[in-house]
Structure 1
Amino acid sequence: MPLKLFHTYSRLMRFDDRESRPARCMTDKLAAIREVWDKWVERLPYLYNPEPDVTVDEQLVPFRGCCPFQQYMPSKPAKYGIKSWVASESSYAWKMQVYTGKSTSGCPEKNQGLRVVLDVTEGLRGHNVTCDNFFNSYELGQQLLKRKITMVGTVRKNKPELPPALLGSKEREVFSSKFAFTPTTTLVSYLPKKNKNVVLLSTLHKDGDTSDREDRKPIIILEFNRNKGGVDNLDKVIGAYSCRRMTARWPLVIFHNIIDVSSYDCLCDLDRDQPNLDVS
């Protein structure tokens, strides 16, 4: 394709009816690409059956332009961009949801982390979900158990359900662990450094096993570390091999991300379908 023709197509590309867009934007900030996005997301779960371990995390697509729901995340390499919630397995994006900020009423959403995990894991059964402390809570663990789904993740220390005995770190030995149990949930407080502890919650583990390593990390932490990087690895791969182009239009940024994620998901499917060949 000639470069001039490619630039023409890029300028003219739209994903909805511009005349009816203002009315739809009153109730949906994603109206400019909503129809394309929903049809694509609907197809993702049909193309791949995830393994038992699924990761839920956030993705930030780089963008510095005019967008009503652009996010600033200093922990991400791009810092500014469009955020999506992703449920992935081995970096395969199984289900995604664009975060469009506060609702049109302007009221902040309560229990957002719980709602996101329940949304992007809809349809799973018999899996284990790994997520960080933004999403994790005791209530989420109980809701997932009703769907036959277990969960492992870090927990913020301001959660009211945490027992005070797990929060203190003074006068504790480095690499020590404290456990708390209910019939369905296991909590662990681990001290990796002096006066600094991390708290994790699991509905998968039923005992207080620790590893034989020098740092004596609990099995719950090893399980969390093994699965937590699924979405981060997806970002890394599509960032290195991307079709993104410079644009000031946020719907085109989302469309480029759709192509990037679809391309990587196709590679995951091909890799899984390859037979194990004996070349000896």
Structure 2
Amino acid sequence: MRRRFNVNEALEVFQQLEEEGESASSSSTDDSSCSDEEAEDQAFTPGPDSGEEMEEGSDEEREEENMTIGHRVELRALFGLLILAGVHRSRGESSASLWGEETGRPIFRATMSLGRFHMLTATLRFDDRLTRAARRLVQQDKLAPLREVWDLWAARLPLAYNPGEDVCVDEQLVGFRGRCNFKQYMPSKPAKYGIKLWVVCDVATSYAWGIIPYLGKTTRDAPAERGQGKRVVLELTEGLSGRTVTTDNFFTSLAQQARVAATAAPDEKQSGSVLPVRLHLHRHRGELHSKAPAERSAPQHQTPSGSDPGGTAAEADVIIDYNRCKGAVDNLDKLVATYSCRRKTRRWPMSLFCNMLDVSAYNALVLWLSVEPAWNQQKRSIRRRLFLQELGTSMVRPAQARRTRLPRSSSAAALLEVQQQVEPGPAQEQTKKRCHLCRGKRSVHARFCHACGQAVCKEHSTVVCSACSC
């Protein structure tokens, strides 16, 4: 059974972590107070490609920096491969088929091996697992495994784009059938089971301007939240002024109408809704009724016919405006599902993160087309596919340039050779090597001669300032 922590144990865990951090910082300060000779032994000289004669620094710091750059390049390549898998609509295709010689694509094999891809996807985490249980208890956050990354991502969405005069607020369901304590069942959605998100989108472009996850009740005994629709709409539209917000009857309330200019559609099941006076007077006379909604589409309402004496032009304008603006979030859901990068997984943070990649890729397309509207105008029907393919390819190119061993596949090896000729990888002379002048010694040195580029030790090298070198 999984161990349950109480609040006192959680506080003790936090205190232990703080003490470990203080002890680590004190040990680092003690290690820094070394002699000048030891510091000089740790110094190194950069390779021949650098502009300076000799630069001091520890080998550990240089190695750590190289590992950090390598990890960033590899993670970027992983996300690029996920996007490319979505471009090929291989959501249900196995990874072995994507890397296969006959059924796969060369760009996957040229970027990384199948085993490396499986290792990265299996070990990818978005928080510190050791403190996750304590954060869940103290902060009472069900989104703790993804909270830090989610907050950083959600804060960037409204910074890059200004929506038009019409926005829409609706829910989105990220399909997931694994174990998740805030999983929802929505029979009207194609996935039926998954994680529910509140989304505000621009009506003209379906740009996701803000997203809030629905985490349910904090505890099972907690009372149901009252005014949830009002809270969601006000939180999502915070910072938007002078826009018309279109919602369905779930979000409609008197307090919300006092704060937000909402366009409400007449609904026979709606009770206590705020409608225009003329629509409210005629709601029971049969002039306005809902059609049977099609799958994955917002309910479309019929306009009053010209023969009905109760129908007016104002009522028709309200219904037409609602039908035009209501499907922005549904359109985003449809576009994201077309080229989705989500893979089969049992971890809900990974499933939600793949949805973040899908939404980010679509938002990037909207931003690019707002800057370059004439881009691939002749191929308007497949512009999104071309954009995603170019985006994924650009993300995997640095990893291909850094790869030292060629894959066994001839097509992947040829692709990798061409890519490395276009974008050469980092210089390999910066690694640790033995001094070429020493004989019989096994010590490893990290100094390089500026003239010949050979590795030299401290005994066979001299320090020359920039003025004397001229």
TM-score under structure 1 normalisation? 0.79
The match for 1:73 is 186
Q: 2:130 aligns with which of 8, 19, 23?
A: 19
Report the CA distance between 1:275 and its aligned residue: 4.6
Aligned CA distance change for structure 1 residues 228 and 168 (closer, same or farther; 3 Å): closer
Question: SS of 1:20's equivalent?
Answer: helix
What secondary structure sits across from 2:171 in the alignment? strand
For residue 120 of structure 2, the aligned residue among 1, 5, 9 is 9
> Is the radius of gyration larger for structure 1 or structure 2?
2
Query: What are the superposed Cα offsets for residues 240-278 of structure 1, whole Å, 9 maximum, x if unpaired?
Result: 10110000000001110110000000001111112569x
* Gap change, CA 1:161 and 1:256, over 3 Å in 2: closer
CA contact (8 A) 2:252 2:264 kept: yes
Q: Which residue of the partner structure matches residue 267 of structure 1?
A: 365
- Structure with bigger RCO (C-alpha 8 Å, 6+ apart): 2
Contact 2:264 2:274 in 1 (8 A): no
> Would you say the 8 A contact 1:243–1:256 is kept in 2?
yes
Assess, with a 3 A threshold, how the Cα gap between structure 1 residues 168 and 88 changes in structure 2: closer, same or farther. closer
Supply the AA of the counterpart residue of 1:28: D
Structure 2 residues not aligned, in runs of 5+: 1-111, 292-300, 302-310, 378-470
Q: For the Cα contact (< 8 Å) 2:249–2:273, is it kept in 1?
A: no
How far apart, in 2, do the equivalents of 1:167 and 1:28 lie? 46
Relative to total residues, which structure has the larger helix share, 1 or 2? 2
Q: Which residue identity is paired with 1:16? A: D
TM-score normalised by L of structure 2 = 0.48
Residue 210 (structure 1) aligns with: 313
Task: Please list, as runs of the form range in 1=range in 2, the aligned pairs for 1:93-112 lying within 5 A after superposition.
Answer: 93-104=208-219, 106-112=222-228
Tell me whether 1:142 sits opposite 2:261 in the alignment.
Answer: no
- Among 167, 171, 174, the alignment partner of 1:54 is 167
- Identity rate, percent: 49
CA distance in 1, matches of 2:290, 2:148: 47
Identify the residue that residue 85 of structure 1 maps to in structure 2.
198
Structure 1 portions without partners, runs of 5+:
145-149, 177-189, 199-207, 212-216
Q: Which moved more, 1:36-45 or 1:22-31?
A: 22-31
Cα offset, 1:218, TM superposition: 1.5
Once the two structures are overlaid, the 10-residue window that deviates more, 83-92 or 105-114, is 105-114
Q: Could you tell me whether the CA contact under 8 Å between 1:95 and 1:120 is conserved in 2?
A: yes
Query: Hey, what's the Cα distance between the residues in 2 that align with 1:131 and 1:45?
Result: 19
Higher strand share: 1
Q: Secondary structure at the match of 2:313?
A: coil
Secondary structure of 1:19's aligned partner: helix
Matched, 1:234 2:332: yes
Identify the match of residue 128 of structure 1 among 234, 239, 244. Answer: 244
Q: Tell me how far apart the structure 2 counterparts of residues 120 and 237 of structure 1 sit (CA, whole Å).
A: 21
Shift of 1:4: 1.4
CA contact (8 A) 1:136 1:154 kept: no
